[in-house]
Amino acid sequence: MSQMFKAKIRRVGTSLGLLIPKDVVVEEDIQEGEQVDVGLLKAKRLESINKLFGIAKGARSFKRDKSNRVDRY
């Protein structure tokens, strides 16, 4: 199971790195040296996504109009 969490980017030598919170490490049983997949979602993009879904909150549910269909069976 993967989960989302916030992490602060930190300088590590000439590179950048992030720290995985301890509760995530324990729950996911992550070991030192293990390779993990990381997805990025920057805060600005997240705000845009939330606004987009916020627009649709008041929309009525979609109902398909089947009046123009011919029953072939």
Predicted TM-score of the model (pTM): 0.50
Helix, strand, coil fractions of the chain, as percent rounded to 5 = 30, 10, 60
Paired strand residues for 48? none
The pLDDT of residue 50 is: 63
The pLDDT of residue 43 is: 64
Positive or negative, the CA dihedral 60, 63, 67, 68 is: positive
Question: Could you tell me the two tokens for 21?
Answer: 């919170």
For 1-34, the pLDDT digits (tens) are 567 788 888 999 999 998 888 988 998 899 999 9
Question: Could you tell me the two tokens for 31?
Answer: 């070991």
Delimit the domains of the chain by residue range.
Answer: 1-30
- Determine phi and psi for 68, rounding to 5 degrees: -95, 5
